[in-house]
Amino acid sequence: MIRRIALVTPHYHSGVVETAGTWPNVAFVYIAGALREAGFEPVIYDAMTMDHDADQIRAQLVALQPDVVLTTAYTPSFPKAVDLLRLAKDALPGVITGIGGVHTHFMYEEALTRHGDVIDFVLRGEGEVTAPELMCCLAEGGDPATVEGVVFKRNDVVVVTPTRPFLESLDGLATAWDLVDWDLYRFYPLPETNLAVISTSRGCNQSCTFCSQQSFWCKTWRGRSPKDVVDEMQMLKDRFGVGVIMFSDETPTLDRERWEQLLDLLIERDLGLHLLMETRVDDILRDEDILPKYVEAGMRHVYVGVERTDQATLDLFKKNTDVQMGKKALDLLNSYDIITETSFVLGLPDDTPETIEATFELARHYNPDLAFFLTIAPWPYADIYPDLEPYIVSYDYEDYNLVAPVVKPKAMETDELMRIVINCYRRFYMGKLKRVASMSPSKRDYFLVTMKLLMENSYLKQFMGGLGKMPTEIDSLLGKWL
């Protein structure tokens, strides 16, 4: 019998991305909604945000007594996801396990070959139809080979069923926001209100070689209707006290007409929400004439992917942008007092201390409010992987966290690269702190809180603490303002 299904996050912490806050797993919200519609009893257990260790997870699973445990993973969280399913198998005899997410979507053969003793099923692609259909099939004693979008082992042979087509419409999908423990989720610069993550669209039609999204979505993109999106946002505010919403989309702004309609509807509803999103620099440049609508709709924090400040690497990454576009986009957003954030990818095979220094100087010139200096992660399913593979020095997926160097440049050792990357952080944020008096009051408060969190709570702290003088300098400067 299959009745209770636990959707559990791996007990993995990724460091840099957790600096801003904690947020619910939106995929679980949709899959739980679909499972409940199909007659099952889903439970969402966020072991990561609760910071539970193995003993606590075991105790929670024993208390829940699920018939099925489902988890998700991207590449650095995959080892912890395997640990979670191994623990579930040990604590719950007879439990069925499954895993989804971008890593196993591509790496299912490796996952089942190495960990088939604890992974019963890999769910590929979107899960809203696959998960309940698989559960119904298993509950009725059917053959899972008839379910599209799953992979499993049978007689030591990996069985791959046909790929499930993407959902035709993203409007009106069942959700299970009531299963979310809202006390867990906060945006640290505004901790007095709940934080939610929603998806306004799915897909990516770009060709970035270091990323996986265009391959995962087969270069397709689908947008929800503006009304469906805003109705969900209003419900989250009215029912669950949400005050901050992060868009999880890769490019929510892709369709200019739809995007402007969404902004107009947000302005009309006047929800008073604090909005955060990621988008492309070319969309910001395209939208120069409607940036006032961004502000009026509640957009307060925008991440744009600059990645590098030299054209050769941007071309290698197939960003389809030029180096000046990133600077122009950040200047535009800054002119409207929107918090700007970007990242710069370092540690490529041809990088040297001199090329990284040049990138750093231009990063400072670009003047984002927040900058992250990330080491290249060689996702094994990304287009750029063959170019990086000869220089990989670690095959431990947990190291693929954009902080630990796992690619060794030809002219540098990895410990030297780590020192240089951390020094980029130190110099960038020390420079920003020295100019904090010139910031607008809203940006200053936002920046200082984020800076303090970066120093105190980030995965980077273990590296930054080794730089000796920096924490004292930062404490001194922060003390003048906080």
Spans of all domains in the chain: 4-160, 177-436
Average pLDDT for residues 222-244, to the nearest whole number? Answer: 97
Average pLDDT for residues 135-161, to the nearest whole number? Answer: 97
If you count them, how many residues does the chain have?
482
* Cα angle 279, 336, 435; round to 5: 100
At 464 the pLDDT is: 52
Model confidence pTM above 0.85: yes
CA distance 206 to 259: 18
> Which residues lie closer than 8 Å to 465 by C-beta, 6 or more apart?
471
Average pLDDT, the chain: 88
Residue 202, strand partner residues? 222
Instruction: Report the top-level CATH class of 4-160.
Output: alpha beta
CA distance 60 to 41: 16
Taking alpha carbons only, the member of 305, 273, 44, 53 closest to residue 177 is 44
Residue 276, strand partner residues? 246, 301
Per-residue pLDDT band for 383 (boundaries 50, 70, 90) equals confident
At 44 the pLDDT is: 98
At 350 the pLDDT is: 93
Q: pLDDT, tens digit, for every residue of 402-446?
A: 888 999 999 999 999 999 998 998 899 889 888 888 899 888 888
Report whether pLDDT(184) > 50: yes
Per-residue pLDDT band for 319 (boundaries 50, 70, 90) equals very low
At 250 the pLDDT is: 85
At 461 the pLDDT is: 58
Per-residue pLDDT band for 133 (boundaries 50, 70, 90) equals very high
* Cα angle 407, 413, 414; round to 5: 50
177-436 falls under which CATH superfamily?
Answer: Aldolase class I (3.20.20.70)
Average pLDDT for residues 83-110, to the nearest whole number? Answer: 96
**Burial class, 216, CB count within 10 angstroms (exposed 0-12 / middle 13-18 / buried 19+):** buried
Judged by average pLDDT, the poorest of 2-16, 64-78, 176-190 is 2-16
